[in-house]
A and B are shown apart, each in its own frame.
Chain A
Amino acid sequence: MTSTKKSVVVAGVAIAGLALGACGGGTGAGTSAGASGGSGQEVKTIKLVAAEYSKDHTKAFWDAFAKTYNQKTGYTLDVQVVSWDNIDQQSSTMIQNNQAPDILNLNAYASYAKDGLLYDSDTVLPAAVKSDILDTFVKYGTYQGKFYGFPDLSSARAFFYNKTLFKQAGINEPPKTWAELEDDAKKITALGNGNVGYALPLGPEESQGEFSMWLFNNGGTWKDGTKWTINSDKNVETLTFLKKLADEKVTQNNPARTNRADAFDLFKSGKAGMVIGFSPLAGALDADKKVDYGVAPFPSNDGSPSKTFGVTDYLMAFKKPGNEKAVKAFYDLYYQPDQVNTFIKAEGFLPVTKSGVQQFQSDPKLKVYLDTLPNAQLTPTDDPTWDKVKLAVQQNLGGGINGSPKATLDGLQKTAENGG
Chain B
Amino acid sequence: MTESTTVTPDPATTAGSGRGRSRMPSRAGRRRRAGRIGQVHPLVALLWLAPALALILGVVLYPAIKLFDASRGEYSITGLRKGDAGWTNYTKVLEHPDLGTVLRNTVVWVVAVVAITIVLSLALAQFLSKSFPGRRFVRWAVIIPWAASLVITSQLFVLLYDYNYGIINHVLLSLHLIGQPIDFLGDDSWTMFSMVVVGVFVSLPFTIFVFIAGLGAIPEDVMEAATVDGASPWQRYRNITLPLMRPALMIATVLNVIYVFNSFPIVYTLNDRNPGYLHDTTITFMYKLAFKSQEKDVGMSAAAGIFNVVLILVVVGIYLKIINWREETSR
Contact = CB atoms under 8 A, between A and B. Distances in A.
Contacts of B131: none
Interface in A69-109: 88-89, 91-96
A389 interface: yes
A377 interface: no
A130 interface: no
A404 to B, nearest CB: 15
A398 B78 contact: no
Interface string B291-321: 1111010110110011011001100100010
Contacts of B273: 203-205, 257-259, 262
Contacts of B181: 253
B294 to A, nearest CB: 4
Interface string A22-56: 11111111111000000000000000000000000
Interface stretch (A5-13, A210-218, A325-333, A338-346): A5-13
Nearest to B80: A115
B286 A9 contact: no
Interface residues of B, number: 59
A266 interface: yes
Interface string B243-280: 00001001100100010001000000000111110000
Nearest to A21: B309
A68 B162 CA distance: 46
A26 B63 contact: yes
Contacts of A395: 275-276, 292-294
A92 B78 contact: yes
Nearest to B58: A22
Nearest to A258: B273
Interface in B174-197: 181, 183, 185-187
A203 B183 CA distance: 14
Contacts of B185: 257
Given A257-B273, A259-B273, A9 B250 contact: yes
B31 interface: no
A136 interface: no
Most buried by B among A14, A96, A392: A96
Given A253-B183, A395-B293, A22 B64 contact: yes
Contacts of A171: none
A23 B64 CA distance: 9
A269 B165 CA distance: 10
Nearest to A106: B78
A194 B164 contact: yes
Most buried by B among A19, A269, A396: A19
A115 B302 contact: no
A117 B299 CA distance: 19
Contacts of B305: 21, 24-25, 28
B1 interface: no
Contacts of A15: 56, 60
Contact of B298 (A21, A92, A266, A389): A92
Instruction: From B78, B247, B290, name the one whose CB has the most chain A CB atoms within 10 angstroms.
Output: B78
A15 B63 CA distance: 13
A323 interface: no
Given A25-B302, A28-B71, A95-B79, A9 B254 contact: yes
B64 A25 contact: yes
Given A14-B313, A27-B301, 14 more contacts: A9-B251, A13-B254, A13-B258, A27-B298, A28-B67, A30-B66, A111-B76, A112-B78, A115-B80, A117-B80, A257-B183, A262-B273, A269-B164, A391-B292
6 contacts: A26-B63, A27-B298, A32-B66, A89-B290, A96-B79, A399-B276
Interface of B: 56, 59-61, 63-64, 66-67, 69-71, 73, 75-81, 163-165, 181, 183, 185-187, 247, 250-251, 254, 258, 262, 272-276, 286, 290-294, 296, 298-299, 301-302, 305-306, 308-309, 312-313, 316, 320, 324, 327
